[in-house]
Structure 1
Amino acid sequence: MSIVNSVRAQIPPIHREGYPFIGIFALVTLILFWIWAPLGWIGTVLTIWCILFFRDPVRVTPVRDGLVVSPADGRVSMVVDVIPPPALGLGDQPLPRVSIFMSVFNVHVNRSPVPGRVERIIYSPGKFINAELDKASEDNERNSLVISTTHGNIGVVQIAGLIARRIVSFVREGQPLVAGERFGLIRFGSRLDVYLPAGTKPLVSEGQTSLAGETILADLTQPDLGRTYRAD
């Protein structure tokens, strides 16, 4: 029994949003097996991928005033100062932005980077170009959250990618959030942008791998003079 429990502990739970898709993949796989066995095995591989895509592992979020944690699993694709989208209402001056690109192999459940309250939610229809491109921040379908904190407002933007066709939100305006709490999901490849208060020094580098709810992006209470990074 202990071996069974150990195996179960290694298998991450699946988010409920994934069940309909997993069911469809499994059904198509059965049909493919009926048509031709090799096609069925291809369907089996795709069904396993779908199961892994919707995995929702437990995360251990560091809890301290001022910490900003990653809202997404993936690769830090950009760390730049840019003027935030007007819809966020964060002003017309450049702010630090950390962009995290999620491939189709990453966990796609998104988590709140800070404790606070959902001030605004803004959905913007758009295109589905490669989410790694900088212009995706303005051109692609996206769902934006403004989270008010004791250290100012934080902007979090879910951006649909080349394959993604649906942004799912779990929260509503006025709702309180704790750091690491699940607030949404993007299906099949996408990007998350985090806009930090002016003067904040991001504590991550481009190319770094981040984990939602665990990787620290910034510390709003302790100004950092800057860091250097090494790639091995």
Structure 2
Amino acid sequence: MKIDPAARPFTLMAAVPTVIAALARRPRTTAAFGLLTAGVTLFFRDPDRTPDHAPVADPVVLLAPADGIVMHVGEPQAGIAPPGQWQQVSIFLSLLDVHMNRSPYGGRVIDVTHTPGRFLAAYRAESATKNERSEIIVERVVAGRARRIIYRQLVGQLARRIVTRIQPGDEIATGERMGLMKFGSRMDVFVPPEVQLEVTKGKRAIGGETVLGRFPAADPS
């Protein structure tokens, strides 16, 4: 299993006291810091993923952007959605989840906006507008019609840094890695009303694997 390079400074901070404790012959302290080092390293694990029942090139399918529990599906929560008509899917990432983030839909990155903010618990509705976050807009033209989705990386009480590795003008594939959030967080995805959502509240989603929803098949005419 791959470990994301963002783990290096955190792993080093945990490994140094492990080595010091080992040299001082403190077995319990060594074991404790050793477990901490392993835990921090595993937090940044980056497993490969295979989509469920759908090729990543399929212009109809949207995939879950992260591992976690689906905490909201359907009409947007009050005051959260961007202007326009949208459906909202929100996924809460616990400390134990893989925190690599993936694009739920492929296309051209239209905009990436970072907004500083607070660090409220990510499961609280107000965290969507008050917490630090990055918003990504992706657009794809299918059969002459533009399909646009918007998704957000939101930090929580423990997640204090967002890493976004795409920028406007980039082309990204459905399910492709695009960043991560450090130590517990949330992702909100906003899709057009015509998307048929396939997840339900309380369902466990796997980033890059779970089918989030589907656009209607493009009219060949």
Q: TM-score, normalised by structure 2?
A: 0.88
Specify which structure has the higher proportion of strand. Answer: 2
Alpha-carbon RMSD: 1.9
Deviation at 1:40, TM superposition (A): 2.0
Structure 2, unpaired ranges of 5+: none
- Counterpart CA distance in 2 for 1:48 and 1:81 is 40
Matched with 2:119 is 128
Secondary structure in 2 aligned to 1:118? Answer: strand
1:199 and 2:199 are equivalent in the alignment: no
In structure 1, the gaps of 5 or more residues are: 1-11, 223-232
Query: Which aligned segments of 4 or more residues in structure 1 are displaced greater than 6 angstroms?
Result: none
**Aligned partners of 1:161 and 1:189 also within 8 Å:** yes
Is 1:72 matched with 2:66?
yes
Q: Deviation of residue 158 (structure 1)?
A: 0.1
Partner residue of 2:43 out of 27, 30, 53: 53
Question: Is residue 65–residue 221 contact of structure 1 (8 Å, CA) maintained in 2?
Answer: no
1:26 maps onto 2:2 in alignment: no
Q: Of residues 156, 162, 179 in structure 2, which corresponds to 1:161?
A: 156
Residue identity in the other structure for 1:181: E
8 Å Cα contact 1:110/1:183 also seen in 2: yes
Q: Report 1:210-225 matches (<5 A).
A: 210-221=205-216
CA distance in 2 between partners of 1:175 and 1:31 (Å): 45
- Greater shift in the superposed pair: 150-159 or 116-125: 150-159
TM-score of the two chains, using structure 1 as the length reference: 0.84
Alignment partner of 1:26: what SS? helix
1:146 aligns with 2:172: no
Q: Identify, as 1 or 2, the structure richer in helix.
A: 1
CA separation of 1:81/1:45 partners in 2, compared to 1, >3 Å: closer, same or farther?
Answer: same
Q: Report sequence identity in percent.
A: 35
**What CA distance in whole angstroms lies between the structure 2 residues aligned with 1:189 and 1:124?**
18
Q: Count the aligned residue pairs.
A: 208
CA distance in 2 between partners of 1:27 and 1:156 (Å) = 37
Q: Distance in 1 between matches of 2:173 and 2:84?
A: 28
